[in-house]
Structure 1
Amino acid sequence: MTTTVTTHDQTLVADLRATLTGDVIDPADHRYDQARRVWNGLIDRRPAVIARCASRADVVAALAAARTHRPPVSIRGGGHQIAGSAVCDDGLVIDLSEMTAVTVDPSSRTARVEPGARWADVNIATQRHGLVVPGGEVSETGVAGLTLGGGMGHLQRAYGLSCDALRSVEIVTADGTVRTADRDEHPDLFWAVRGGGRGLGVVTAMEFVLQPLGPEVAQALVLYPYDDAERVLAAWRELVPRMPETVSPEFALWGIPPDPGFPAEMHGAPVVMVAGLYAGPAQEGLEVLAPLARLGTPLVDATAITDYVTSQSGSDPLFPAGARYFFKSHFLETFDDDAAAAVLAAGAARPTPQSLVIVRTMGGAIARVGEDESAFAHRAAGFNVSIDAGWTDAAMDDAAIGWARRAWDRLTPSATGGVYVNFAGLDEDAHRDAVFGAHAARLDAIQRTYDPDGILTAAAARH
C-alpha cells in the first residue's frame, strides 16, 4: 500500500519544514516506514506527514499548521497505546517521542516529565532518590498516554492511579495557547486530563507528586499448575479482601514465559500466575505477600526482594514491539462466581501462548478520590479484568480478536458497563459512554471550549 501525496499535503509539509526545528518526515523520506510504526504491529496507518517535535515551540508550530490546513491529527507520545491512536491515515502526526526529559526535585518530591518519556525513564530518574510515581506494568509504556487515560499499575491501591499523582500539566490547546492546568488554574482542563484521554490538547510536560519507595521492594510472583486454576482462583478471591492496600494483588491465566529459568519444553505451557508488589519496607513485604504462595501447591515461587526498576521492567520482554495485540477490559464491582467462571472459560480458550486473562484489584487509594474529582469514571470498581490477545502471525488476526471479543461478551453480565480507555480494543470498541460514563457530557463540553473547531477531535474535509 502506498500513500497518495496531494498538493494540499505538500503545502502542509512545506509549512511544517519552514517552522519546526525538529524533523518533518513525509512518505518520500527513507525514515517514513519506521517513523509511522507503533508498538502494536496490528496497526498499519500511513499519515501524510510526521512532525517530530523537538520542543514546546515545535508543538505550537505544528498546531498552527493543523489550524491552517485542517488535516486529521493524531498525537504520539510513547506510541504504546493498544488502539494505535498515535498515528492516523492521511493526516498529521504530532510526534513527541524525542521529548523525553525527566527532572526530579527530591526536596519537593516532584518530577517534571516530558511527553515522550516512558516509564523506564521515570523509574530510573526517581529511584535515584528512592521515590516513585505510580506507573504502569510495562516500563516501555509511554507516560503521557497511560496517565491521561487513568494509569493502572502495581501501586494503584497504595498510591492511586498515575493521573492521581499529577500536580499540574503544561498543555498546548488547539488555538496554540500554552496553558498550565492545575487545581487553581484552568481547573476544568485539569479535571479532564486526569482520565479523559486524548482530544484536549497536546501535553508538553507533566508534574507528578512522588512517593517514597525503593530501591529495594518485595515482589510476589507465583506460578501454579493450570489444572489447579479453579481452586487457586477461589482461594485468591477469598484472600484478596484480607490483604492490605499496600498490595494490589493480580491473578492471571497465561503461558509460561520464555525465561531461561524454565526448561525450554515448558515455554508457552498454560499456567496460573499470581502476583503483587508491596508498597512499603521490603523485608516486611515478604511476610505480607507470603499468603499468595499458599493458594495451592506452586510450580514456582519467585517471591523475592528486588530493586524497583527491575520489578517494573520484568514484563517488558513479554510484550515485544511489533507483535500484534488486541486488549478488551471490564470493570467489576465484585468478583462473583459468574465472573470467575467467565475468566476460567476465557483462559481455557486462549488462542496463543502470548494471550492472557488478568484480574487486577482496585479500591484503596483509587476509591478515596471522589467519583467526580477527575474524568476517570470507574472509582467505585473493585476489579478490572483485561482480556489481552497477543500473537505474531497476521493469519491469526480474526481468531485472536474474535477470542477477546467473545470472552469480553461472556463477562459483560458481571460487569459495571464501564471500559478502561487504555484497554478498549480498537477505536471502534471505545464507546464514549462506556469509557467515560456520567463524565462524557462534561468532557465533551470542555473539549468544545478548548477546541471549538475540532482540530484535534475531527477529521476536516480535504481541500
Structure 2
Amino acid sequence: MTVRAIPVRGEILAPGQPGYDDARRIWKGLDRRPSCIVRCADTSDLRNLVGYAAQERLPLAIAGAGHDIGARSMPDYALVASTAALTRVEIDAERRLAKVAPGARWGHVVEAAARHGLATTGASVATVGVAGFALHGGLGWLMRSLGTACDNIRELEMVTADGELRRIAPDSEPDLFWAMRGAGSNFGAVTSLTLQLHPITRVTAGMMLYPGEAAPAVLNAFRDITARAGDELVTHFYYNGSPDGAHSTGIGLCHTGDPADLATLLAPLAPLGEPVYDSVREMGIDDLQAVHDSSTPRGARYHLRAHYLSELDDSVSEAILARCRTVTAPFTQVFVEHMGGAVGRAPIDDSVFGGRHAGYSFLVINGWSSPEDDTTQIAWTRAFGDAVGPHATHGAYVNYLDYDEDHRIPGAYGSAYPRLRALKRRYDPANMFRFNRNIPPEVDDAAS
C-alpha cells in the first residue's frame, strides 16, 4: 500500500511512525498491527478513504472509540479509518435531537444534552463510542422507558461502498434505515447519526454491593424486584472479581420515577441487611455514566460470553451462580440485565435488533492482565457461556459477541438475515466493510 497516495487531510500512520502505537491501542488489550491507520480530520477524509479502498479493492475497517468487544475495528494488516477525532455533537433543543459525529463517545452526548435537560438511552460507560453502540442495538440505563439506542435513531448520513454519501431515514432509503438499526456497520461508513432526546434531568442511580457469598440471596431479590418493576426502573445483577481476589455481588440501578418510591421497589433486598457499599443517590443525568465507569479498565485482557434469557428460573440461576464461584481474574464482571419495558414494545419488524423478546440479558466480561493467562481465562469464559447456553432463549446481542463467535451472527438476526444478505449484495457486493459482525453478501446462484 502506497500510503502517500491516500487522498486525505488527516495523519497517515504506518508501523514504526510516531503516533502509530497510540492510534492502534483499543479498549481490549490485544496487540493488533494494521498496515495503515488514517486519522480522519473530517468526514470528507472518511468519504475519500471509502473511495480509495473501493478503487484499490481493499477491505476497510472503521475505528471510532476503540471499545469494540471483539476488537474487529483494529485488524492486523488492514487499512483502518480512525474517526476518533470526529467528536462533534450538535443539540437541537427545540426538536430534542442530537446530531453526532462518528467518533463521539457517550460522554460527549450526555454532557451536551444535559445542558438542555435532555437525555437518551446510551452506554453505561462514557468512553464507549456512540455509533458502534447504537448501530447494533444499544442496551443502557434508560432502555425500559426510552427503548434501545437504535430505537432512538432518527436519521443517519453514511458513505456506502460505491462512494456515495446517502441520507438514511424512513422517507429516504427505508430499507437501509431498517438495516442500519441493528446491523449498521455492514453497509457503509457512518458520517453522522441523529438521535432522539427526551426531557430527563435527574435520576436515582448507583450500586449496592454485598459479599460474594450473598450472591444467591441477591439474585433471588433481583428476580423479585424485576417481577414488579415498572418502566422507570432498570436494574442489573452483578457478580464481580477484584484485583485483591475478593468477590462481591449486588445490583446496579437507575430509577427515573419518584425517589420516594424506590425503597418499596427495593424491599426484597432488606433481609440482606446493610450493603458493604452503597452509592445509590439522586444525581444529575450527566453523572449517570460514572456508576461503573471504571469497572473494566482500558488495556486489560478480556473475553466475553452472552445470552438472552426469557426468565430467571432456579435452573439458570444456579448455572450462573455455580460459575460465579469459580472467578479468579481480577477484572471479571458478571451481569444479568433486566430488559422488557419499551425495549419489548417496539415493533419487531421496525428494525433488525433481535432482543425484543428477551426478559433478561446475561453477560460475563472476564478480565485479566497477563497474556500468559490467556489460554486459561479464555477457556473459563467459554465454559461459562456453555453452562448458561442450554437455558438461553434464541438469538444473540451482537454488541456482546466476541471475535470467536461469528457463527452466532445469523442467529442474532433470525428471519431478517436473508434480507440483510440481499441488502449487503446491493450496497457492498465486494464485502469491503467486513471487519464487523459481518453479514456476507447474498450469493448469486446463477453466477455460481
TM-score for the superposition, normalised by structure 1: 0.90
Alpha-carbon distance, 1:228 to partner: 1.9
Q: Choose the corresponding residue for 1:194, options 170, 181, 197.
A: 181
Offset of residue 288 of structure 1? 5.6
- Tell me the equivalent position of 1:335: 312
Residues 119 and 136 of structure 1 are in contact (CA less than 8 Å); yes or no, is this contact kept in structure 2? yes
CA shift in 2, pair 1:226/1:349, >3 Å: same
Contact 1:377 / 1:438 at 8 angstroms: preserved in 2? Answer: no
Q: Which residue of 2 aligns with 1:64?
A: 51
The 3-state SS of whatever aligns with 1:146 is helix
- Give the match for residue 409 of structure 2: 432
1:180 aligns with 2:163: no
Instruction: Answer yes or no: is 1:367 the counterpart of 2:344.
Output: yes
Q: For each residue in 1:304-358, what CA deviation from the matched residue of structure 2 results, as whole angstroms up to 9, or x when unmatched?
A: 1122222212322222211111111000111111110111012111121311211
Deviation at 1:279, TM superposition (A): 2.1
List alignment gaps of at least 5 residues for structure 2.
439-448
Q: CA deviation at 1:293?
A: 4.1
Partner of 1:291: 267
1:211 to 186, 198, 220: 198
Letter in 1 for 2:251: V
Range that drifts further, 32-41 or 379-388: 32-41
CA distance in 1, matches of 2:281, 2:357: 32
Q: How far apart, in 2, do the equivalents of 1:139 and 1:211 lie? A: 19
Provide the C-alpha distance between the structure 1 equivalents of 2:403 and 2:374, rounded to a whole number of angstroms: 13
- Deviation larger for 115-124 or 290-299: 290-299
Q: Give the equivalent residue in structure 2 for 1:128.
A: 115
What amino acid is the match of 1:60?
A: R
Tell whether the 8 Å contact from 1:168 to 1:206 is kept in structure 2 after alignment. Answer: yes
**1:253-292 Cα distance to aligned partner (Å, 9 max, x none):** 1136x8xxxxxxxx552111211101245x3464465436
Match of 2:27 among 28, 39, 51: 39
* Correspondences of 1:20-39 after superposition (within 5 Å): 20-39=8-27
Q: Which residue pairs with 1:115 in the alignment? A: 102
Question: What whole-Å deviation, never above 9, does each CA across 1:236-256 have from its counterpart, x for those lacking one?
Answer: 212211011111111011136
Task: Please tell me whether the aligned partners of residues 354 and 396 of structure 2 are also in contact (alpha carbons under 8 angstroms).
Answer: no
Distance in 1 separating the partners of 2:286 and 2:271? 28
Letter in 2 for 1:341: E
Corresponding letter in the other structure for 2:204? A
Larger mean Cα displacement after TM superposition, 269-278 or 226-235: 226-235
Distance 1:407 1:295, change over 3 A: farther
In the alignment, does 2:210 pair up with 1:233?
Answer: no
Q: 1:247 aligns with which of 192, 213, 233?
A: 233
Structure 1 unaligned blocks of 5 or more: 1-8, 259-266
Name the CA shift for 1:246/1:416 in 2 (closer, same or farther; >3 Å).
same
Amino acid of the residue matched to residue 384 of structure 2?
A
Maintained 8 Å contact 2:105/2:129: yes
Q: Does the 8 A contact of 2:137 with 2:353 survive in 1?
A: yes
- Tell me the distance in 2 between the aligned counterparts of 1:194 and 1:300: 38
Which of 123, 128, 150 is matched with 1:163 structurally?
150
Counterpart residue number, 1:14: 4
* 1:138 equivalenced with 2:128 (yes/no): no
The residue number in structure 2 matching 1:261 is none
SS in 1 for 2:74: coil
Q: Are 1:350 and 2:327 counterparts?
A: yes
Aligned partners of 1:148 and 1:124: how far apart in 2?
21
Correspondent of 1:154 among 132, 141, 148: 141
Distance 1:46 1:348 in 2: 36
Mapped to 2, the partners of 1:289 and 1:210 lie a distance apart of: 27
Q: 1:28 & 1:119 partners in 2: Cα distance? A: 32
- Residue of structure 1 in register with 2:431 after alignment: 454
- For residues 92 and 211 of structure 1, do their structure 2 counterparts lie closer, same or farther at Cα, with a shift above 3 Å needed? same
Amino acid at match of 1:296: L
- Inter-partner Cα distance in structure 2 for 1:255 and 1:374: 36
Q: Secondary structure at the match of 1:190?
A: helix
Q: What's the TM-score once normalised by structure 2's chain length?
A: 0.93
Equivalent residue number for residue 65 of structure 2: 78
3-state DSSP of counterpart to 2:348 = coil
State the aligned residue count. Answer: 435
Structure-2 residue corresponding to 1:94: 81
Correspondences of 1:278-317 after superposition (within 5 Å): 278-281=255-258, 283-284=259-260, 286-287=262-263, 289-291=265-267, 293-294=269-270, 296-297=272-273, 298-317=275-294
Question: What CA distance in whole angstroms lies between the structure 2 residues aligned with 1:106 and 1:378?
Answer: 30
For residues 254 and 270 of structure 2, the distance between their equivalents in structure 1, rounded to whole angstroms, comes to 16
Bigger drift between 380-389 and 318-327 goes to: 318-327
Q: Structure 1 CA distance, aligned partners of 2:136 and 2:210?
A: 32
Q: Partner letter of residue 96 of structure 2?
A: R
Deviations 1:409-437 (A, max 9, x none): 01111101322111112154452222222
Q: 2:247 aligns with which of 264, 270, 275?
A: 270
Which amino acid is the alignment partner of residue 223 of structure 2? R
